[in-house]
């Protein structure tokens, strides 16, 4: 496994891959890797001739500087995991490499900026879009792998690929969960034992809401019940609990079986923000 710090070094390697007609899979990450990341890696290895993982904690997508400072980083451990998984190369650029000068470009993803993550984290998707576009330009992969846990981010990146005509195929991998159902996230490392137990409310509330919707309960009543569950848990502060069309993130007033629908949730445990989602139909 080769560790590559600069785009110039990668371009030399990519030229050899092109000459050999080998397909390239990219797995973009911010490090602090867990099994969910490795699921993306395994999908890439299975589908592509060559897999490259990027590790870069992107400062421009954090609208909270404290969250950026506290984001877990474990590069040495991450590299060991990726080597054991069979990754071919890891791109580990510095902030100066990715942003040699302040970025003046602003990306606006329309309605995706106005709901849920877009509304509660202003500027977040601009930062995501810019760094992902940079990675796509630098790496020029044939396939790029992302996790379903960040469902709205997937919608944003899909829009980016379509509108900017990036010549690659997006591959979306299902959410990996702990045995008790908690969605795997790098931020889980920051949870103390009490918070870790309380965090289960996110997935439990999603499961209960999905079951009720499939029994044709009205969304208004389902949402009220979920919000009441959160109110009873003093450890967790609910930010949103919403029913959306899975691709466009149109907010839905009720469940319609003919629409591709998901329930999305975000909540705080002190200063640790977690998100999750569950599809109702695919």
Which domains occur in the chain, in start order? 2-173 (3.40.50.620), 186-277 (3.30.1300.10)
Annotated binding-site members: 30-37, 61, 147-150, 153, 184-187
Q: Among 139, 136, 142, 151, which residue's Cα sits nearest to residue 169?
A: 142
Whole-angstrom distance, CA of residue 25 vs CA of residue 52: 6
Whole-number pLDDT of residue 281 = 86
Token pair 């139909």 is found at 281
Task: Give pLDDT, residue 12.
Answer: 93
Known binding-site residues for (R)-pantoate equal: 61, 153
Q: How many CA atoms lie within 13 A of 205 on its CB side?
A: 31
Residues annotated catalytic, as ranges: 37
> Which residues are part of a known binding site for beta-alanine?
61
- Our CA dihedral for 178, 183, 186, 187, rounded to 10 degrees, sits at -110
Number of Cβ within 10 Å of residue 214's Cβ equals 12
The backbone region for 64, taken as left when phi is positive above 0, alpha when psi lies in -120 to 50, beta otherwise, is beta
**Buried/exposed code over 2-15 (b: 16+ C-beta within 10 A; e: otherwise):** eebeebeebeebbe
Calpha distance 114→244 (Å, rounded): 13
Residue 65, pLDDT score: 81
What is the residue-level pLDDT of the chain in tens, covering all 282 positions? 999 999 999 999 999 999 999 999 999 999 999 999 999 999 999 999 999 999 999 999 998 888 888 898 999 999 999 999 999 999 999 999 999 998 999 999 999 999 999 999 999 999 999 999 999 999 999 999 999 999 999 999 999 999 999 999 999 999 999 999 999 999 999 999 999 999 999 999 999 999 999 999 999 999 999 999 999 999 999 999 999 999 999 999 999 999 999 999 999 999 999 999 999 986
Instruction: State the pLDDT at residue 66.
Output: 81
pTM over 0.85: yes
How do 261-269 and 237-245 pair as beta strands?
antiparallel
Only one residue has tokens 């991998």, namely: 173
């Amino acid at each position: 496994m080769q560790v590559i710090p600069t785009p110039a070094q990668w371009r030399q390697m990519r030229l050899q891959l092109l000459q050999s007609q080998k397909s390239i899979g990219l797995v973009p990450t911010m490090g602090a890797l867990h099994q969910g990341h490795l699921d993306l890696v395994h999908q890439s290895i299975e589908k592509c001739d060559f897999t490259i993982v990027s590790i870069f904690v992107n400062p421009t997508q954090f609208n909270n500087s404290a969250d950026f400072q506290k984001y877990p980083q474990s590069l040495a451990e991450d590299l060991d995991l990726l080597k054991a998984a069979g990754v071919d190369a890891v791109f580990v650029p510095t902030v100066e490499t990715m942003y040699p000068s302040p970025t003046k470009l602003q990306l606006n993803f329309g309605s995706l900026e106005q709901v849920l993550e877009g509304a509660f984290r202003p500027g977040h998707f601009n930062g995501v879009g810019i760094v992902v576009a940079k990675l796509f330009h630098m790496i020029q992969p044939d396939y790029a792998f992302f996790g379903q846990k960040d469902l709205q981010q997937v919608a944003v990146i899909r829009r980016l690929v379509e509108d900017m005509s990036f010549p690659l195929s997006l591959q979306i991998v299902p959410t990996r969960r702990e045995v008790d159902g908690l969605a795997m996230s790098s931020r889980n490392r920051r949870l103390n034992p009490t918070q870790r137990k309380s965090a289960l409310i996110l997935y439990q509330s999603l499961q209960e809401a999905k079951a009720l919707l499939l029994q044709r309960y009205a969304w208004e009543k389902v949402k009220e019940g979920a919000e009441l569950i959160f109110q009873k848990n003093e450890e967790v502060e609910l930010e949103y609990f919403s029913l959306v069309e899975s691709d466009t993130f149109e907010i839905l007033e009720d469940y319609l079986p003919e629409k591709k629908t998901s329930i999305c949730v975000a909540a705080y445990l002190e200063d640790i923000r977690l998100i999750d989602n569950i599809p109702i139909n695919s």
